[in-house]
Amino acid sequence: MEDKTILITGANDGIGRATAERLAARGAHLVLACRDEVKAQQTAQAITSKTGNHRIDTLPLDLSSFRSVRAAADEFLAEHPKLDVLINNAGVYTDTLEITEDGYELQFAVNHLGHFLLTMLLLPALRCCRNCSRVINVSSALHFKGGLDFSSFDGKAAGKSYSGTKAYAQSKLSNVLFTMELDRRFGQELTTNCLHPGLVGTRLANKKAGALTSTVWSMYKPFAIKPNKGADTSVYLAASPEVKDVSGRYFDENQCLQKPSSIARNEQLARRLWEYSEQAVADFLKGEEE
Ligand SMILES: NC(=O)c1ccc[n+]([C@@H]2O[C@H](COP(=O)([O-])OP(=O)(O)OC[C@H]3O[C@@H](n4cnc5c(N)ncnc54)[C@H](OP(=O)(O)O)[C@@H]3O)[C@@H](O)[C@H]2O)c1
């Protein structure tokens, strides 16, 4: 993959880091887009030591801030004319309602809106690759438990009734709906797929979750697969010639095509989510088409 440039969000930990390591071993030029610049640079050095690949760059990116997403995209586009693969991997889980600086519920903002904005801003570089660029959205089988409540996106109505699991499932459902709509809109120019990585023993639910969730998550970990295995489907979708023309699909942890939930297949809902997201990030898309 020496001629490929691949940007991975949340590449300094868990599945994203394992994905980066595997793709670096194949010689790709990687851009690790992470919110913690120090951790990102340490990860880049560790990947270089392990794989011998020196083409590992870092890019500061905080997906909970539209301003940061715009700055990251501008920096990337100033230095790179093309992007072959975009892996929207970063994710957050929390039990506590948090509202971002832009006024959105944290999990919806990071897991969906930030990635939506990033993808829109990087479209010019993705389109440069002429029918061979790939967008990969790391969703979850938990999307099957998700519904879409547009009134909950700003978190205002939730108050004490906030459910972290419900908000997480909603954000992961949004990943699948975004995948399907991106394919409908840009399927002639790029491929877009999403995936469930499996139950993977990362620190996802140890970082911001409450004590109970964190304890339960830690109890599950011995039965979970390792991050390296959890990266299998992301690596497959990024690199395999088998899927070069496959788009608008949902894959499981064994790289098998699966039917996503019936809500995830609702075209009208996907269009509505797209329009909502476009409006939410509109101020940060300005200047792109000028
Ligand atoms: N683990 C599972 O069983 C599982 C199952 C289904 C789906 N997934 C999905 O897999 C993806 C990766 O999760 P993981 O399990 O590997 O968890 P993880 O180890 O916690 O990795 C998540 C990554 O996202 C980054 N991140 C969090 N908030 C961010 C923000 N505001 N801006 C930029 N980056 C941010 C984290 O940065 P820090 O290192 O700074 O925290 C970390 O690098 C997520 O999309 C998750 O929803 C995981």
Residue positions annotated with a catalytic role: 168
Per residue in 20-39, pLDDT tens? 999 999 999 999 999 999 99
- Cα–Cα dist 88/86, whole Å: 6
- pLDDT exceeds cutoff 70 at 270: yes
Length of the chain: 290
Predicted confidence at residue 208, as pLDDT, reads 82
Is 182 part of any domain?
A: yes
Residue of 204, 216, 235 best suited for mutating to test ligand 1, as the one with most atoms within 8 Å of CB: 204
- Cα–Cα dist 224/90, whole Å: 19
Here the tokens at position 231 are 């990266």
Q: What is the CATH number of the domain that holds 74?
A: 3.40.50.720
Question: Ligand 1 center to residue 90 CA distance, Å?
Answer: 4
Is 290 part of any domain?
A: no
Is 228 part of any domain?
A: yes
Is 217 part of any domain?
A: yes
Predicted confidence at residue 288, as pLDDT, reads 63
- The predicted model gives 159-166 an average pLDDT of 87
- pLDDT exceeds cutoff 90 at 156: no
Predicted confidence at residue 290, as pLDDT, reads 46
Per residue in 216-243, pLDDT tens? 888 888 899 999 999 999 999 999 999 9
Among residues 69, 188, 168, 78, which one has the least CA distance to residue 120? 69
Question: Ligand 1 center to residue 287 CA distance, Å?
Answer: 30
Question: Ligand 1 center to residue 92 CA distance, Å?
Answer: 5
Here the tokens at position 27 are 């010689």
Per residue in 174-224, pLDDT tens? 999 999 999 999 999 999 999 999 999 998 988 887 888 888 888 888 899
Is 105 part of any domain?
A: yes
If one counts the domains in the chain, the total is 1
Task: Report phi then psi at 87, rounded to 5.
Answer: -110, 105
Q: Give residue 96's domain range.
A: 5-285
- pLDDT exceeds cutoff 70 at 124: yes
Is 78 part of any domain?
A: yes
